[in-house]
Amino acid sequence: AQTVTQSQPEMSVQEAETVTLSCTYDTSESDYYLFWYKQPPSRQMILVIRQEAYKQQNATENRFSVNFQKAAKSFSLKISDSQLGDAAMYFCAYRSSATNKLIFGTGTLLAVQP
């Protein structure tokens, strides 16, 4: 069975600085998707970024980028120029292309200091 591990329960960053959130996963599959979701205090789940496993190029979305290391099964999220609105819980997620099941890590709570 696939698993997703987020080893940083909490992180803190100064406004305008850069922070990297870690995620590792375990799978024997070669075709899958990886995601980062943001959950602010409103508890709404918001997609931050998506990565297809077959793509070697790292995904980017404005200030958000990933470092996808398929062999190492690592999928970290980098937030550049951090803003107060980035403060939230961040979840890493894995989706199997074979079963379509989407599983999550335990989350990293990011605080942004002014």
Partner 1 sequence: NAGVTQTPKFQVLKTGQSMTLQCAQDMNHEYMSWYRQDPGMGLRLIHYSVGAGITDQGEVPNGYNVSRSTTEDFPLRLLSAAPSQTSVYFCASSSTGKNGGRAEAFFGQGTRLTVV
Residues engaged in binding partner 1 (CB under 8 A): 4, 6, 9, 33, 35, 43-45, 47, 50, 52, 91, 93, 95, 97, 100-107
CB of 43 to partner 1, least distance (A): 5
Task: Tell me how far apart the alpha carbons of residues 86 and 62 are, in angstroms, rounded to a whole number.
Answer: 13
Which of these, 3, 24, 9, 2, lies nearest to 108 by C-alpha position? 9
CB of 16 to partner 1, least distance (A): 29
Query: Coil, strand, or helix at residue 112?
Result: strand
Output the CA torsion 11→9→7→24 (10° steps): -80
CB of 17 to partner 1, least distance (A): 26
Which CB sits closer to partner 1, 81 or 101?
101
